[in-house]
Structure 1
Amino acid sequence: MTIPNIITFCRFLMVPGVIYALLQGEMVPAFVIFVLAGLSDGIDGFIARQFNQQSELGSYLDPIADKLLLISVFIMLAILNYLPHWLVVLVVSRDVLIMIAVVLSSLMTHPITVNPLLVSKANTAFQIALAAIVLAELAFEVRFGDLQTILVYVVTLLTILSAGAYLRVWIHHMTDVE
């Protein structure tokens, strides 16, 4: 087991912690755990690349841990009415549709390798920023002006563009005659 994979496993363990903190209304711990999880994502990737500790297991676990954290936080923030429900439905639906496409292509014996697209990376970055801003506002009782509203619309746009881009790649892959 590599150090980056251990760090990724720890990120999985942070998800219940941030959910519990949010359920208890403990916004400072929720924010701190979320930030630590985000930092751990950067650290595990850095260590994996710098010390040649990249692994197949890590290539699967890392994005799953990221999605689990983001989706869990988004769902909790919507349940607590800090994010619009429609946005969370959109974000989660996009991820579910991507998973269905991957499974379907495998079942049809035409498996696809999903490589992150630039628009998807931007989408994830803005989702992280939105969650961090909402948690920071709740934790420290500050307001960053209209930043949250702007980020909601940026995440909406990027989620739609990302879903469309992945759909285009998938359709091309599935209809490609070899």
Structure 2
Amino acid sequence: MQSKLVPVQEYDTDKVLTIPNVVSFVRLLSVPVFSALIILGHDVAAVVLLAAFGATDWVDGFLARRLKQRTELGARLDPIADRLYILATVVALLVRGIVPIWFVVVLLARDVMLALLLPILRKHDMVALPVNWIGKTGTFLILLSLPLILLGAPSSLDWPWAHWLGWILGVVGAVAYWVAGLLYVREAVRLVRGETS
């Protein structure tokens, strides 16, 4: 019997330099640039880069499937890029005084909790947690909320609609983010107890 934590994934190649992986590397390299743009107050440029980031988030997966270049590295790079983007962005927004510390702690604590599961996974010969739809939804909502929160801030473009919509999406996204995280913890507990399905 196979645990729900075991990702069932087929890969097309073990090459590192595939087109989708290059796109993912570019996304990773854009994270510090995006953060610097926010800290320096170049908000419109930061949002433009965010739009490009969001597009490449979809493009790399599409290309991997279309070109039959799905790789284990690519499967790992995608969620790493999302996590780094979220962390770097909320820290940059915190530096600017746009988001409160509690919002950063809520998002960071969830990722720390999941990082603590890695030794359990490795002990059971597993390398990663599969992404569930709740986690994908939470990540999408948070990624969508951050530029709106930025543009709605008084120190930025001060758009009230962006402020409110951004925070609604951000809070809902954070709740979904945590629900997904707790589901992962539940599966890890089942794994430790030897329960499989």
Q: Against the structure 1 CA distance between its residues 167 and 177, is the aligned structure 2 distance closer, same or farther, given a 3 Å change threshold?
A: closer
Deviation, structure 1 residue 153:
2.5
Q: What is residue 28 of structure 2 aligned with on the other side?
A: 12
CA distance in 1, matches of 2:179, 2:98: 24
Query: Counterpart of 2:70 in 1: which secondary structure?
Result: coil
Deviation, structure 1 residue 140:
4.5
Deviation, structure 1 residue 101:
0.5
Q: What is residue 150 of structure 1 aligned with on the other side?
A: 168
1:65 aligns with 2:81: yes
Identity rate of aligned residues, in percent?
A: 28
1:36 aligns with 2:52: yes
Q: Which shows bigger deviation, 43-52 or 126-135? A: 126-135
1:165 aligns with 2:179: no
With structure 1 as the length reference, what TM-score do the two structures score?
0.89
Amino acid at match of 1:69: Y
1:110 aligns with 2:124: yes
Q: Against the structure 1 CA distance between its residues 83 and 160, is the aligned structure 2 distance closer, same or farther, given a 3 Å change threshold?
A: same
Query: Counterpart of 2:160 in 1: which secondary structure?
Result: coil
Query: Counterpart of 1:122 in 2: which secondary structure?
Result: helix
Q: How large is the RMSD of aligned CA atoms in angstroms?
A: 1.9
**Aligned length in residues:** 176
Amino acid at match of 2:43: M
Asked whether the equivalents of residues 98 and 150 of structure 2 are also in contact (C-alpha less than 8 Å), the reply is: no
Deviation, structure 1 residue 23:
1.6
Asked whether the equivalents of residues 105 and 174 of structure 1 are also in contact (C-alpha less than 8 Å), the reply is: no
Please list every run of at least 4 consecutive aligned residues from structure 1 whose deviation after the TM superposition is greater than 6 angstroms.
Answer: none
1:54 aligns with 2:70: yes
Asked whether the equivalents of residues 146 and 166 of structure 2 are also in contact (C-alpha less than 8 Å), the reply is: no
Gaps of 5+ in 1: none
Gaps of 5+ in 2: 1-16
Amino acid at match of 2:144: A
Deviation, structure 1 residue 47:
0.6
Asked whether the equivalents of residues 8 and 44 of structure 1 are also in contact (C-alpha less than 8 Å), the reply is: yes
1:27 aligns with 2:40: no
